[in-house]
Every structure is written in structure tokens, then in C-alpha cells.
Structure 1
Amino acid sequence: MGMSTATAARWVERWECQQERYAVDREERFTVIADVVEHSTADRPAPLVLDLGCGPGSLAARLAGRLPAAEVLAVDADPLLLELGSAYYGHHLRYVEAVIGAPGWLDALGLDRPVDAVVSTTALHYLGEGTLRDVYRDVAGRLRPGGVLVNGDHIRPDAAAISELAAHVGRRHAERHSTLTPEDWESWWSGVVADPELAPLLSRSGGRAHPPCEGNDLSVSEHLTLLREAGFAHAGAVWQFGSSHVVVAVR
């Protein structure tokens, strides 16, 4: 028996709330990413879009709503998050389990044509610098000419003094807009583990909550350097609020 829609809705809604803690003006960031993808795929009748580190599919679902003709693949390493998303968002997305950056990870996606856009939000900072370099190169190799990589994430400005100010601006914004919700990442996962309805899925996945985090603290210019080295013709930030950036690279 699959997960009920009610159970999925409860946990996805809690996911949305706790994620507000970690992305300054998260909904606007999603909108900016969708704007970039929509513009970049305007001449494609059925664009292929990948969402890397999708979680339950928050961004992927918004993209599917904005681009109803698109095929949106939601990719994550965590089977529980994928199951929650599949039960909640239904047939609008195709969910694929893959560890981003692992050897042959793109082969697990079953891609049958070049990709038009690759997006990610609040996910790629979990990768170590070497892994991220490989992922950028892998993605560049699968994008069509003119295709885009759009990454919305915590990326620090280059100068330390500006980085400190950007972090302060982000905190003040969160305080003004009451986005510092009581639940955080750890308490969300603790709740998941304690929910008997989710125990069978946790058991099937070996009790794994999420893959280990290598992490990186790359600045904006360091990301842009990696992207150009990976084969992207152009790269730059198109949006920033505090330390939250949307970086776009064009193949």
C-alpha cells in the first residue's frame, strides 16, 4: 500500500515551512528560476528540465505548473523525500533516485535527448568542491547548446566584509517577514523518524535519512570560474538577496 495523500501533504507542508528558514525570500527565488527557464526554453515545444536535489519537489512542481508542456525530472538521493513528493504532487513530475555526483549518476536518469535546463535550489552547497566541479562538467555535457544551468543557493559574496553584510540583510529580512519558523531541518527529520506511518519506507531504505554532506564555501566568483572551466560559455548572477543568489550558466 502506498503512502496516503494526507500523510504526504502533512509532511510536504511541514517541509515547505522549515525550508523558509534557509532561503531568503524563497518564493521569489523560485519565481526568478522559473522566469529564467521559461525564457530560455520559449522556443522548445516540450523542454526537458532536471531539478537536482529536488527534495519532495517544491521547485520542480512550480516549474511543471509554469511550463505544462515540459518534462520535469525531479532528482534526489533520498527515497523518502521522493515518495513524499510523488504521493503529494502526483503525475506532474517524474521522480528519479540518484546520488548527484556519484560515478555514472546521470545514467540513472534515462535521458533520451539533450537537456534544455537544469535547476537546483538550496542543494548544491552540500557537495564538496571537487564533486561540484564534476557535476558542473557532467551537466554541461548533457545540455543542448544554449541550454541553462540555474542554481539558487547560499553563495557568499567575494569580499568578507560584503559577505557579513549580506548575511545580516538576510537575517533582518527573515525577522521582518516572520520566516524563522520553530521547525528546522533536524526537527523535521526527527519528526519523520517518529511517525509510524513512515516507518515502513524508512525500513525499506535502510533507515537512511539523507546522504552525507561534504559541503563547500565557494564564493560567487569561484562558482563562476568552475562553471566556465566546465564548458559553459557564459555565467553570472541574475538575482541576489542577502547571501541568497540565483546563478545562471549558459551552455
Structure 2
Amino acid sequence: MELSTETATRWVERWEGQQQRYAIDREERFTVIADVVEHVTAGRATPLIVDLGCGPGALAARLAGRLPHAEVLAVDADPLLLELGRVYHGSAARYVEATIGEPGWLDTLALTRPLDAAVSATALHYLGEHTLRQVYRQLATVLRPGGVLINGDHLSPNGAKISDIAANVGLRHARRQAAFAHEDWQSWWTAAGEDPDLADLLTARSRRSLPHCEGNDLTAADHVALLREAGFEDAGTVWQFGHSHVLVAIR
């Protein structure tokens, strides 16, 4: 059964609310990522941008809105989330089903030219250190010189005591924003699983071998070290609130 715009809207809007529970100043973080992409692609006729672990396409759609002349690829392993994004956001991006880090995943993107930017928001922390190191190296080979990798994610600052303080600052900020009034991740998926309008997509999803969360406890400095090792010229944090970072690496 074809997914209706009404159903996609209902579930994407709930997803947007749910994500605010976890990402401090989510909209500001998206804005910073878009600012960086716009800066590094200034003067380029048709920038090529890929959003890694896009979910229903929130960041990809915002980038397409900011840069209407760009080509945006939205990549995720989950067919349900991808279809929600396709229907809700329309032609803002090209949606590609691929599991980041698996053999041949870059080939699935069918890139015909170097990337200007690869972005990700609250997704790469699911990768283990070994997989992440490999993904960083792979992305370095497909980004043009001067292109960027931008990672907006939860990263611990260096030092346990500073990390604890940063976590407390983030928690207090989230409470002031009433972030915990939103439903949580598990509640969203439980409710989605009970919606008959999503039955076909849920069946398709159940037939996929979705990636499990390997996870890592890398600090921001650890990420910078891995990025330099992978061949990036420079890397560092350009925005931070609590544990929420926007990390930029320049090819």
C-alpha cells in the first residue's frame, strides 16, 4: 500500500519531536552544519552533499532548502524511515538505502563526481571505533580537496571531570527547554509498529538485516586524531553545547 502524505506527515512530525529529547539545540546544530556547508561550497555551481544516517531526512531537507542548487543524497539503512522522508519531503533529496561501513556501501551511492560535503547528525556514534576509522578513510577518498566532513553528534570532551561538567550543563539546558516532555525513541517505534498504515513498510523493514549499534566512547580529540589519520588536512570543533558538538574535518 502506498504511503499517504498524511501518514508520513504524522510520523515525521512525531519523529522531529522525539529527536528533540536527545539532541540539545537540534535546530541550532542543523543551522551550524548548513552554515559550514554553505561556506565551503560558495561559488560552486552544483555542490554534491551526502547526509549519512539521514533517518526521515530532516537535515537533508534543510540543506536542500538552504542550497536549492545543490544535489543532496540522503543515506540510511532503514527503508521505513527513508520512505517517510521521501513522501514528506518530496524531491528535496535523493534517498539511498545503504548501511554505512558495510562492504560496498559507497558503491551503492553511485557517485559520479567527488563530494563537496558529507554530513551526519546523531548517527556516527552508532559505529564502533574500527568501523568508524574505516568510514573516515573511505570518505576521505570521495571528498574533493577542500571538501568537508561535518559530524553533529554527542561527543565527550577530553578529561573525565570536564566531561561530567559538560554533561550537567547539557542536562540543565535540556530541562529548561522541556526536552524530556517529548516521547522517547522506544515509544515512537512502539507506536509506529501498531499503525496499520505502516504495515507494508514494517514488513519490508523486518526483512532487512539492519545494523546493530556497535557504539564507541571516543572523545572529540579521539575523533580528530582518527580524521587526521584518515587523510584529512585539519579537524576540530566549531560548535559545542554540553556534549553536543559539530565537528568539521577538511579534506
TM-score interval for Structure 1 and Structure 2 normalised by the shorter chain: over 0.9
Structure 1 counterpart of 2:21, which letter? R
Over 3 Å counting, the alpha-carbon distance change for 1:46 and 1:9 in structure 2 is same
CA drift at 1:182? 3.8
Asked if 1:85 is matched to 2:85, the reply is yes
Compare 59-68 and 208-217 and name the one that shifted more: 208-217
Over 3 Å counting, the alpha-carbon distance change for 1:94 and 1:53 in structure 2 is same
CA drift at 1:202? 1.2
Structure 2 counterpart of 1:102, which letter? E
- Correspondence for 1:58: 58
Aligned residues of 1:18 and 1:181 also touching (Cα < 8 A): no
CA drift at 1:116? 0.3
Structure 2 counterpart of 1:163, which letter? S
Q: Secondary structure of the residue that 1:42 maps to in structure 2?
A: coil
- Correspondence for 1:108: 108
Q: Structure 2: how far apart are the matches of 1:19 and 1:208?
A: 24
- Correspondence for 2:229: 229
Aligned residues of 1:148 and 1:250 also touching (Cα < 8 A): yes
Q: Structure 2: how far apart are the matches of 1:148 and 1:235?
A: 9
- Correspondence for 1:188: 188
The TM-score with structure 1 as length reference comes to 0.98
Aligned residues of 2:20 and 2:182 also touching (Cα < 8 A): no
Q: Which runs of 4+ in 1 moved over 6 A?
A: none
Q: Structure 1: how far apart are the matches of 2:110 and 2:95?
A: 12
- Correspondence for 1:219: 219
Asked if 1:148 is matched to 2:152, the reply is no
Q: Structure 1: how far apart are the matches of 2:243 and 2:132?
A: 19
> For 1:164-221, what per-residue CA distance to the aligned partner results, in whole angstroms no more than 9, with x for missing partners?
0111111111111111134111111111111111111111233559531000110011
CA drift at 1:21? 1.0
- Correspondence for 1:162: 162
Asked if 1:17 is matched to 2:7, the reply is no
The TM-score with structure 2 as length reference comes to 0.98
Structure 1 counterpart of 2:197, which letter? E
> For 1:134-174, what per-residue CA distance to the aligned partner results, in whole angstroms no more than 9, with x for missing partners?
00000000000000000000000011001001111111111
Aligned residues of 1:202 and 1:208 also touching (Cα < 8 A): no
- Correspondence for 2:171: 171
Q: Secondary structure of the residue that 2:206 maps to in structure 1?
A: coil
Query: How many residue pairs were aligned?
Result: 251
Compare 175-184 and 10-19 and name the one that shifted more: 175-184
Identify unmatched segments of 5+ residues in structure 2: none
Structure 2 counterpart of 1:239, which letter? W
Give matches, 1:66-85, under 5 Å. 66-85=66-85
Q: Secondary structure of the residue that 1:51 maps to in structure 2?
A: strand
Q: Structure 2: how far apart are the matches of 1:155 and 1:182?
A: 22
- Correspondence for 1:33: 33
Structure 1 counterpart of 2:246, which letter? V
Give matches, 1:117-136, under 5 Å. 117-136=117-136
Aligned residues of 2:21 and 2:182 also touching (Cα < 8 A): no
Identity score, percent: 68
